[in-house]
Amino acid sequence: MESFMQYAVYLIILVVLAVPLGAYIGRVMDGGKVILSPICGPCERLIYKILRIDSREEMSAKKYIMSAVIFNAIGFLVLFFMLLLQGLLPLNPEHIPGNSWHLAFNTAVSFMTNTNWQAYSGESVLSYFSQMMGLTVQNFVSAATGIAVLFAVIRGFVRVKQNGIGNFWADLTRSVVYILLPLAVVGSILISSQGAVQSLRPYDKAELLEPVALDENGEIIEGAHVDKETGAVTVDGIPVEASRIVTEQVIPLGPAASQISIKQLGTNGGGFFGLNSTHPFENPTIFSNLIEMLYLLLIPVALCFTFGRNVKDKRQGYAIFAAMFILLTAALAVCAVNEHNGTPQLAQDGAVAVDSTDGTAGGNMEGKETRFGIATSVTWAAWTTAASNGSVNSMHDSYTPVGGLVPMLLMQLGEVVFGGVGCGLYGMLAFAILAVFIAGLMVGRTPEYLGKKIEPFEMKMAVLCCLATPLVILAGSGIATLLPSTADSLNNTGAHGLSEVLYAYSSAGGNNGSAFAGFNANTPFINVSIGLVMLGARFIPMAAMLLVAGSMAKKKKVAATAGTLSTCNGLFVFLLIFVVLLVGALSFFPALALGPIAEYFQMAG
């Protein structure tokens, strides 16, 4: 019951905060006055003046697409060369050299596409300059791109017989100045007050209480005894040759809090440190955990209510929200039940407690922080993979087979269960178009959505949007599994090894970025192939939905009749959930059957 209350409280707080934020975002993107206008307004106008932007210019769908693609391409190139040359750039107190070309490519694509997949540990591979001026900047603008595209799509449904769907540069600027930046500043202050580091000092060092012996490969020698006077290393009295003794611990620092806040808020997810939000310098306390966890889904949930407001029918927003919320709650419940129950192997015939009747945490605590427990870890896992965030406060590789299947499936659905800022909602709108088309076929009527007829062109683009993610994920992971080098990169073989590969490409294709953490992905082929998957999954649906918006904006409104399918009642919510599961889940069923499902039956047997 206590765990159930935790889950319920987290969900209630999230929705309560999202409702007023949704109204605020709607007013901002309409160009209306808000509480922050006296501060943000002058900044917005200064940006327009410096960049010579006419914020009143209306763009066609093709021009909007070109503006978004060119802007992101420039961002990719700047970040790519920054990572290659970081050894020559300032703010590098640890003198970290530049990245390899394939890692720089993968990282630049990752942050430009709002995926934040990381094939590295930030504290050992990236300088402060790269983290601040490269990754943090992309965390803002990649998230703002998703919000901008969403509002262009919304205008396409609202406008009648018009060619323009808004101005990309104005939408991008407002998203950053009025929405992302203020919330990120608040989040940074809150989590830094809890102990998240924010410093430009070089890394500190601390003396270890007990020296540690390492072998020639740098691995800790188990059971080693170190003679503090002579420095000799022995195991059971036998001297160990070619060993070395470590007496100091390096404590990484850096401007972490400012990046952590926007990585959560913008559904980016890339960790400042390799351990991401399990690291105590990123996520020190239960309060910082609550703030960061709420930031995972705050804007995606708020945008559902913004959608209803801006299409002048709040019931439409409620319907989309209900479909997403039901899917999220169901996923959370399945993951929670499996993690609280654990597995027979964890119980070890009763030798290990997997229930909480004796005062222990119970369940599957492997890979989870004891300071957070199962309920908070499971909530984070479901929320971060429902959103295209990917940050973690526990290791998904250590979840039970079905518990690990849930985050994987949430990504494979196309990140439409709230999803990333902007992109999750316009992805769900593609499924909504598909749902009304299927319903129209059933009753023999021309499908309509929000008063506009859905014709062949819109259907083709919606289907392209819905299928792009499954296609790039399955193609990428299928090719990867054929290569012997992929098997060499795995920590596990068999069904769990396949799950590690499938999770990696699902994470990339779902613009998520989380990992099972049992897969060494830093090889040329994997870096490049995952980068290409990220590009396809980001820009194909984006372009498709902008073309839908451009086509819909040119159409006239159709009067509702007795035969018009309602898109804001319970039947439509059910139909929308059904279509999401039909297209998303069934596309991956064969792969899931060979991975986590097979592993489940192996354990059960």
Give the span between the Cα atoms of 408 and 402, in whole angstroms. 10
pLDDT top residue among 396 and 126: 126
Lowest mean pLDDT of 339-353, 411-425, 534-548, name the range.
339-353
Q: What are phi and psi of 522, to 5 degrees?
A: -90, 65
Check pLDDT > 60 for residue 348.
Answer: no
Residue type for position 227: D
Check pLDDT > 70 for residue 94.
Answer: yes
Check pLDDT > 90 for residue 233.
Answer: no
Query: Residue 604: its pLDDT value, please?
Result: 60
Check pLDDT > 80 for residue 146.
Answer: yes
pLDDT top residue among 3 and 292: 292
Instruction: Write out the DSSP string of 383-414.
Output: HHHHTT----SB-GGGS-HHHHHHHHHHHHTT
Query: Residue 219: its pLDDT value, please?
Result: 75
pTM of structure: 0.91
pLDDT digits (tens, 9 = 90+) for 509-550: 888 877 766 666 677 888 898 899 999 999 999 999 999 999
Q: What are phi and psi of 247, to 5 degrees?
A: -115, -10
Query: Residue 346: its pLDDT value, please?
Result: 61
Check pLDDT > 60 for residue 605.
Answer: no
Query: Residue 343: its pLDDT value, please?
Result: 66
Q: Looking at residues 446-467, what average pLDDT do you find?
A: 90
Give the span between the Cα atoms of 110 and 130, in whole angstroms. 14
Query: Residue 215: its pLDDT value, please?
Result: 77
Q: Looking at residues 426-444, what average pLDDT do you find?
A: 87
Q: Looking at residues 205-229, what average pLDDT do you find?
A: 77
Q: How far is CA 446 from the centre of its chain?
A: 36
Check pLDDT > 90 for residue 317.
Answer: yes
Query: Residue 564: its pLDDT value, please?
Result: 78
pLDDT digits (tens, 9 = 90+) for 548-586: 999 999 999 888 777 778 889 999 999 999 999 888 777
Q: Looking at residues 164-193, what average pLDDT do you find?
A: 96
Domains of the chain: which residue ranges? Answer: 19-200+255-301, 204-251
Query: Residue 86: its pLDDT value, please?
Result: 95
